[in-house]
Every structure is written in C-alpha cells, then in structure tokens.
Chain A
C-alpha cells in the first residue's frame, strides 16, 4: 500500500500537550516539515522559550536548548557564534518576545544575527492564563484587562514585525496567519524562505504567526479562527515587511 501521508521526522513521537484547537501544533509541524524538506534537521539547534511551548524541545527532533523568559535570541546568539554553520532558530510567544524579551529581540535583529525567529502572536499570555500581552488588541478582554484594553491606561498594541523591519540587520520579516489551508501553506513557504535566508548567511530572519488561543480567548476552535481573521488581521496585516525581493 502506498504511503500518502507520514508524520514528519522533524517531530518526535511525543504527543503535543496543547489545548484542542490551539494552532501552536500546526506551527510546530510546518517548521519540522521544512527542516526535513531542506535536509537541515541534523544540523539544526533550536531554542525553546518560556510560554505554552516551553517544552517543545521534546517535540522537535533536533538538538534543542530551553531559554529563560524572553532570552531566546541571546541564547541563540551564543549558540550561533559557536556554530555559525548550523541552522539556529528560536520559538517564542508574544509575552516572551514582545514584552520581557523586547531588548533581546531588537538587538539580535540589529546585530543582523544570522538566526531565524518564529514569533507566535496569539494576543495573550497563554501559559499563565490569558493576561494582556503587548500584542493584545484595543478593547480586548483579558484576565488583566477585564474591562477591555483601554489605550488611556494600557497603551497600544505593538506591531513587532513592522518595528523590526526598520532595522538594517533584519533581512527577512513576514507575518502569516494560521487560519486555513491556503494560509498555512503560505506560512510554510515563509518558514522555508526564512531558513534559506539563514543558510545563505544573509542575516536576521523572522516569521510572525497570528495564532489562536481558544482556551484563554474563551472561544471554540472555529470561533477562534474567525476572531483571529476579524480582529487580529486589521491590527496585524499579513505580508512581507522586509526582504520581499530577496532571491533565495
């Protein structure tokens, strides 16, 4: 019998612990698939961060190191400086990257650190039960903005991709959304391009994923996808913010 579909070898057999309908799992899969398709799994070193995906070192079937909250880009810098020939990526949430780790991500990009960052924007702190993140939308109800995010009190969402795209060291930055088959395929192409940018030694690359958190959004998986499209996309438009014309 012909095998028509196989789980990628880029993932271990350990079952994911993510909530039903959470799109972290899809993002893991497409990263792992690309690592296999580009035949770089065996030379890849990944950096797990702090958030719901703190233990994805158990899921990715490559060398992995777990970093303190927000510090993954610094840890990846250390790894990459020792092994410039290896592929190095970080996987970070929006609390991790855009709040506590803002200095580390900005400076990794500014240095043109030749690493790839996967930035998962689900507009909340997932793991610690749905607090407001720097990426939470105006009006969004979270456990720490129970009356909705109010710009007068809690300021405005941060568009990380647009901001980092202003840095010369950042060579490729794209925002994608995990919403449907077509967009997931586009997300996978972005992951593939980011790794090629790194392989060619061009500098810092990042893919931002708009991702769901049904548990903390208090929505079903299907409602969550709709909410993502209706509310997140207007604030966080999909597209390439840096390196559109890069031929890699």
Chain B
C-alpha cells in the first residue's frame, strides 16, 4: 500500500536515485547536502551498488565520468563550493557525451560564503561554469515530492540525451521535511548503451574521449552537440504557469523562492491586484517562449523577478521580454529569504507605478 512518508529533502533525493536505478554514487562531504551521502552510505550497498567517499569533489566527478563511461547509472551531489570544483568534470562529461546526474544543494556565496540557502549558482548552472560550448539540463524542483519525481526523471533524461542533468536545489529544500508519496514502480527507461566500455569481447573496441585535434572534426562535434541542445529546448522545456491569464503583474521565480511568491499571489489578489507567476522548472532549457508571449499581452503591465541572489535569472527574463514590458527585481543574498510582506509591498508599489 502506498502512503505518504515524512522525509527530509536530501534523503528523498538519495532514495529517488536508488529507486531510479542509480548504483554508483561518489561524493564528498559539504553542508547542506551531506544527508544525501549519509543515506547513500547506508543504503547503496544493500541495493547492490557502490558508494565511494571520494578524496575531493574533483575526484568524485571523475569517478562519475568513469562509472558512466562503463555504462553505470551514476550520480554525485554537492553544494556550491564543491560544485565549482566539479566544473572540469562537467565539461569533459559534456564533451564525451556521458549521462550523469549531479545534485547541487546551493548555499550562499561567493567564496566559502555561508551554509544557508541561496540561488547564487544560477549563472554557473545554466551558462556553463566549465570551459567550452556545452549545456547541462538544469531542473529546479520546489517541493519534496518534486525532488523525488524529478530526480527519477533526471536519470532518464541523462541517458536519453547522454548528458549531465543537474538538480538545482537549495539549503531549504535539502533540509526541510515534507510528506512524499513514492510510486510502487519507477518509470525507468532502460537504454542499451552500445557505446559503453565493458571489455570488447564479441565487438570492436569502444573509445570514449572529448579530444579532437582536427579543427573540422571538433567543429562537427560542436555542431552535433548544438543540434542536440536545440532539440532539447523544443522538447524538454518545463514551467508552471499560475494565474497568468488575467495577471497585471507576473512574478518569475523558481525553487524555494517560488514557494514564498506563491503565497503572495493570493494576498495581492485579495487586495485587488491581479498577480500571477511563471515558475521555470527547467532553468536550462529556459521557458523563454511563455515569457515572450506574456510580454505581448495587453493586460500584463510588468514582470517581477524574485531570486535568492543579486539578480541572475533576470537576464534570461529580460532576454525573453525583450524590452516589451518593465522587469522589476527583488533579491536577497547571504542565506536570507524574502518575507511575503516584503514581496507584497513591492508588488503594491509596482502596481502604483505602472498605473500612473
């Protein structure tokens, strides 16, 4: 019988990964994601898999690279400073077209920063971080149930597109407890992975690499990657639209921040201001189109981008809106969360300003 279980976000991610068939986990301790590791250490062996505490995040991501090259379903998790160290591996994984799942439970930066929640890794997650022209699919869940379902889905996407899929959470999502309803069976899509390294008995030998010394070959490889990314933009872009049809002000927020904004919508409407929200679920590919369309609407007067950083996603919002409507910004950093009142007050001010 299925029933709701109260679980911590980080543990749900680990449980989801195991349910999704992940059997190779490599990690290095860092707050606020360490419970993922602890859960893996406890359960991975029982699940018939391998848990390795790596000597560094650099080693962990390279173990993922090796395990993935060998055909395994594999994952690593970390938080911001550790994710910075993994960027080398991300670029190689992109170049070699290997499936991998990486979880970033973002904490406040820059530098060692603080251990409280933030969204300051948006640029790093969505615009590269490592070297070269590549993309990672970036998924931003906003609840524990979504952490579960999207982690499972991340493994399927990684295999399907042979690329890195990042779950971008934050300290709040990782640490909080919410009820989660697990499925009896996970929708695992098995892939054959003919390219994987298994020992070449009975076939030609396989090689996995990301180096192309010949410029034309490398350009062809890049064109291939870009074509894959364009297809993903068409097929995999996901967002949630909330009360946008009649909205005069549309909030754009993701993850934990969107939870705070969600409550503000009702409060603003109670005071007669029609507010809606677009919540990007995939941060790459970004839901550009829906924002561009909304920007054309006569009822819509302004966008309000709210983030737990000094203004990163706002660049994508502005690109989508392309000057058609004003884009306001509210952000908190350092691990602080905006209060509902803070956002509501701002909305009231914007409402006044755009109706003058």
How far, in whole Å, are A87 and B54 apart by their CA atoms in the complex? 21
B195-217 CB mask vs A (1 if < 8 Å, else 0) is 00111110001111111010000
Q: Is the CB of A78 within 8 A of B69?
A: yes
User: Which of the candidate stretches A23-31, A43-51, A116-124 sits at the interface with the other chain?
Assistant: A43-51
Q: Is the CB of B63 within 8 A of A75?
A: yes
Q: Is the CB of B210 within 8 A of A66?
A: yes
Q: Is the CB of B65 within 8 A of A78?
A: yes
Which residues in A have their C-beta under 8 angstroms from that of B68?
Answer: 78
- Given A78-B69, A82-B67, A83-B70, decide whether A71 and B59 contact each other with a Cβ distance below 8 A: yes
Which residues in A have their C-beta under 8 angstroms from that of B59?
Answer: 71, 74, 77, 103-104, 107
User: Which of the candidate stretches A57-65, A141-149, A162-170, A231-239 sits at the interface with the other chain?
Assistant: A57-65
Q: How far is the CB of B132 from chain A (nearest CB, A)?
A: 12
How far, in whole Å, are A81 and B59 apart by their CA atoms in the complex? 14
A81-111 CB mask vs B (1 if < 8 Å, else 0) is 1110011000000000000000110110001
Which of A55, A76, A81, A86 has most chain B Cβ within 10 Å?
Answer: A81
How far, in whole Å, are A55 and B62 apart by their CA atoms in the complex? 18
Q: Does B312 contact A (CB under 8 A)?
A: no
Q: Does B128 contact A (CB under 8 A)?
A: no
Q: Does B64 contact A (CB under 8 A)?
A: yes
Which residues in A have their C-beta under 8 angstroms from that of B71?
Answer: 82
Q: Is the CB of B62 within 8 A of A67?
A: yes
- Given A54-B211, A77-B63, decide whether A71 and B58 contact each other with a Cβ distance below 8 A: yes
Q: Does B246 contact A (CB under 8 A)?
A: no
Q: Does B55 contact A (CB under 8 A)?
A: yes
Q: Is the CB of A83 within 8 A of B198?
A: yes
Which residues in B have their C-beta under 8 angstroms from that of A83?
Answer: 70, 197-199
- Given A43-B201, A68-B92, A107-B59, decide whether A48 and B24 contact each other with a Cβ distance below 8 A: no
Q: Is the CB of A74 within 8 A of B210?
A: no
Q: Does B10 contact A (CB under 8 A)?
A: no
How far, in whole Å, are A76 and B24 apart by their CA atoms in the complex? 13
Q: How far is the CB of B196 from chain A (nearest CB, A)?
A: 9
Q: Does A42 contact B (CB under 8 A)?
A: yes
- Given A55-B211, A63-B200, decide whether A82 and B24 contact each other with a Cβ distance below 8 A: yes
**Residues 32-54 (chain A) with a chain B CB within 8 angstroms:** 42-45, 47-48, 54
- The residue that B211 contacts in the complex, of A43, A64, A66, A75, with Cβ under 8 A, is A66
Q: Is the CB of B62 within 8 A of A64?
A: no
Which residues in B have their C-beta under 8 angstroms from that of A65?
Answer: 65-66, 69, 96, 197, 207-209
Which residues in A have their C-beta under 8 angstroms from that of B52?
Answer: 77, 81, 111
Q: Is the CB of A64 within 8 A of B207?
A: yes
- The residue that A63 contacts in the complex, of B72, B207, B210, with Cβ under 8 A, is B207
Q: Does A137 contact B (CB under 8 A)?
A: no
Q: How far is the CB of A80 from chain B (nearest CB, A)?
A: 8
Which residues in A have their C-beta under 8 angstroms from that of B209?
Answer: 48, 55, 57, 64-66
Q: Does B169 contact A (CB under 8 A)?
A: no
Q: Does B141 contact A (CB under 8 A)?
A: no
How far, in whole Å, are A77 and B62 apart by their CA atoms in the complex? 9
Q: Does B89 contact A (CB under 8 A)?
A: yes
- Measured as residues with beta carbon below 8 angstroms from the partner, the interface class of chain B is 35 or more
How far, in whole Å, are A68 and B90 apart by their CA atoms in the complex? 11
Q: Is the CB of B205 within 8 A of A64?
A: yes
How far, in whole Å, are A86 and B62 apart by their CA atoms in the complex? 19
Q: Is the CB of B207 within 8 A of A57?
A: yes
Q: Which residue of B lies closest to A68 (CB)?
A: B92
Which residues in A have their C-beta under 8 angstroms from that of B66?
Answer: 47, 65, 67, 74-82
Q: Does B31 contact A (CB under 8 A)?
A: no
Which residues in A have their C-beta under 8 angstroms from that of B67?
Answer: 78-79, 81-82
Q: How far is the CB of A92 from chain B (nearest CB, A)?
A: 13
How far, in whole Å, are A79 and B70 apart by their CA atoms in the complex? 5
Q: Is the CB of B89 within 8 A of A104?
A: no
- The residue that B199 contacts in the complex, of A42, A54, A106, with Cβ under 8 A, is A42
How far, in whole Å, are A151 and B303 apart by their CA atoms in the complex? 63
Q: Is the CB of B88 within 8 A of A68?
A: yes
Q: Does B74 contact A (CB under 8 A)?
A: yes
Q: Does B288 contact A (CB under 8 A)?
A: no
How far, in whole Å, are A233 and B292 apart by their CA atoms in the complex? 69
Q: Is the CB of B89 within 8 A of A63?
A: no
Q: Is the CB of A63 within 8 A of B63?
A: no
Q: Does B155 contact A (CB under 8 A)?
A: no
Which residues in B have their C-beta under 8 angstroms from that of A47?
Answer: 66
Q: Does B222 contact A (CB under 8 A)?
A: no
Q: Is the CB of B74 within 8 A of A42?
A: no
28 CB contacts below 8 A, A to B, read A47-B66, A55-B213, A63-B199, A63-B207, A64-B205, A64-B206, A64-B207, A65-B69, A65-B197, A65-B207, A66-B210, A71-B59, A74-B62, A75-B65, A75-B69, A78-B26, A79-B66, A81-B50, A81-B52, A82-B24, A82-B66, A82-B67, A82-B70, A83-B198, A103-B55, A103-B59, A104-B58, A104-B62
Closest CB pairs A-B (n = 7): A78-B66, A66-B209, A78-B67, A74-B62, A75-B66, A82-B70, A43-B199
New A-B contacts (10) at CB < 8 Å, excluding given A78-B64, A81-B66: A64-B205, A67-B92, A71-B59, A74-B66, A78-B24, A80-B66, A82-B24, A87-B199, A104-B59, A107-B59
Q: Which A residues form the contact surface with B (CB < 8 A)?
A: 42-45, 47-48, 54-55, 57-58, 61-68, 71, 74-83, 86-87, 103-104, 106-107, 111
